[in-house]
Amino acid sequence: MNSILPSLGKDVSIDIGTSMTRVMGGTRETMMSEPSIVATDTKLEKIVAVGDEADRIVRRMPDMWRSVTPLQDGFIVDYRIMHTMLKYFLHKVSNTLRRSRVLVGGPCGMTDVEQRAMMDAVIQAGAREVFLIERPVAAAIGCGLPIFEARGSMLIDIGEGTADMGIISLGGTVISRTIRFGGNDLDRAIMQYINQCFGLMVSEETVTDIKHAIGTAVIPVEDCEYSFSGRDMTSGIVRRSVVHQSEIYQVINNGLENFLDAIRQMIRVTAPELVADIMQHGIVLTGGMARLQGLAERISTEIGVPVQVALEPELKVVQGLHRGSGQIVELSRFIINSKDRRGRV
């Protein structure tokens, strides 16, 4: 056995998000978090950089380089770009990838075609074997929820492109769902509001800063202000303006309705015994969007269920995958698909 173990690679866990990809484990036992983008030459359409480096060069020379993301709403839209990005990230954390198992967190309700595309991309990147686990399950493991007990646990993982919701009990997923809602939707809504009401063109970074600084899902007690700069859409001159927190609240509030309705519908079709567990123990929020001010409070008020935000919510999926890599047999009911390099599933 001792002679066999060194020949096996270290397990690698990867959470491929619409805006950020996080990788954990590997031979370097590291934790890596980089943007889910690839930079291409605008003239030659040639890939020149991935992740942090791609983000840097696109910001400095946007006319020469173009950023491309292989994911849209959590699903692969460009297989070539996805393969390049995965190969870069996975080899960055493991120099024995061809002997490694890779656990991937995926959105709920992936079709067979989408599952095969994701697994093929990981295998082509060099992995020995790949396992797909739904993102809410991985996040629940990362949060330490009692997923093997006779108790209903509900978790919502909200990223930039999607919100993945799952109810878990007795080592299995009772119900899960992915909806197209996330931080990008709020960014677009804020961008549109600033364009229409202020007549200004602003950068994506400015919009994100506004959302993080004064974005809120509940009516603000004090109407804070945020000063920002933008280019006048008529004159082209750069000028400063001020937006109030109450304005951003209204924008965010309009975008939350479908999300809240989806939570209500999920609870509505859940068995009464599990609903009673959720009423008692509450809902756990993970993902980067879970940090939005007042979101947990808003969900709790609207749904009538206690809601809490996990510590370091954006890391719970990759942490859960990493923890679950040592429990593959126990987690067999949670693995939605798997494949090895020889094509076996």
Q: Return the closest-CA partner of residue 255 out of 199, 196, 211.
A: 211
Q: Return the closest-CA partner of residue 25 out of 116, 120, 131, 109.
A: 131
On whether residue 128 sits in a domain, the answer given is yes
Please state, as a whole number, how many other Cβ atoms lie within 10 Å of the Cβ of residue 180.
17
Tokens 């109407």 sit at which residue? 223
Residues in Cβ contact with 298 at an 8 Å cutoff, skipping those fewer than 6 apart: 217, 218, 256, 260
Q: What is the pLDDT along the chain (345 residues), one digit of tens a residue?
A: 333 333 455 889 999 988 899 999 876 667 889 999 898 887 767 888 899 998 888 887 767 778 888 888 777 888 888 888 988 888 888 777 777 899 999 888 888 988 998 899 899 888 889 999 999 999 999 999 999 999 999 999 999 989 999 999 999 999 999 998 999 999 999 999 999 999 999 998 999 999 999 999 999 999 999 999 999 999 999 999 999 999 999 999 998 999 999 999 999 999 999 999 999 999 999 999 999 999 999 999 999 999 999 999 999 999 999 999 888 888 989 999 998 876 666
Q: How far apart are CA 184 and CA 187, in angstroms?
A: 5
Please state, as a whole number, how many other Cβ atoms lie within 10 Å of the Cβ of residue 20.
17
On whether residue 77 sits in a domain, the answer given is yes
Tally of structural domains, the chain = 3
Structural domain harbouring 263: 148-181+256-313
Sign of CA dihedral 250, 252, 253, 257: positive
What integer pLDDT is reported at residue 3 of this predicted model? 33
Q: How far apart are CA 331 and CA 202, in angstroms?
A: 46
Please state, as a whole number, how many other Cβ atoms lie within 10 Å of the Cβ of residue 73.
18
What integer pLDDT is reported at residue 343 of this predicted model? 62
User: What is the DSSP-derived secondary structure letter of residue 310?
Assistant: P
Residues in Cβ contact with 60 at an 8 Å cutoff, skipping those fewer than 6 apart: none
What integer pLDDT is reported at residue 55 of this predicted model? 87
By the 8 A CB rule, do 104 and 14 touch? yes
Strand partners, 167: 154, 175
Residue 22, Ramachandran bin (φ over 0: left; ψ between -120 and 50: alpha; else beta): beta
CATH of the domain at 176: 3.30.420.40
What integer pLDDT is reported at residue 77 of this predicted model? 85
Q: Return the closest-CA partner of residue 9 out of 116, 124, 130, 117.
A: 130
Q: Are residues 283 and 322 in the same domain?
A: no
What integer pLDDT is reported at residue 6 of this predicted model? 38
Q: Are residues 292 and 169 in the same domain?
A: yes
Residues in Cβ contact with 87 at an 8 Å cutoff, skipping those fewer than 6 apart: 124, 125, 126
By the 8 A CB rule, do 270 and 174 touch? yes
On whether residue 142 sits in a domain, the answer given is no
Q: Are residues 107 and 157 in the same domain?
A: no
Amino acid at 24: M
What DSSP letter does each residue of 66-86 carry, written as one string? EEE-SEETTEES-HHHHHHHH
- How many angstroms separate the Cα of 9 from the Cα of each of 27, 133, 276, 293? 7, 20, 43, 41
Q: How far apart are CA 34 and CA 51, in angstroms?
A: 5
Q: Are residues 129 and 203 in the same domain?
A: no
On whether residue 293 sits in a domain, the answer given is yes
Strand partners, 231: 201, 238
Q: How far apart are CA 46 and CA 175, in angstroms?
A: 42
Q: Are residues 278 and 160 in the same domain?
A: yes
User: What is the DSSP-derived secondary structure letter of residue 293?
Assistant: B
Q: How far apart are CA 135 and CA 155, in angstroms?
A: 10
Residue where one domain finishes, among candidates 234, 251, 268: 251
What integer pLDDT is reported at residue 318 of this predicted model? 95
On whether residue 221 sits in a domain, the answer given is yes
Q: Are residues 48 and 162 in the same domain?
A: no
Q: Are residues 175 and 284 in the same domain?
A: yes
Q: How far apart are CA 269 and CA 63, in angstroms?
A: 50
Q: Are residues 66 and 214 in the same domain?
A: no
By the 8 A CB rule, do 142 and 320 touch? yes
Q: Are residues 27 and 67 in the same domain?
A: yes
User: What is the DSSP-derived secondary structure letter of residue 269?
Assistant: T
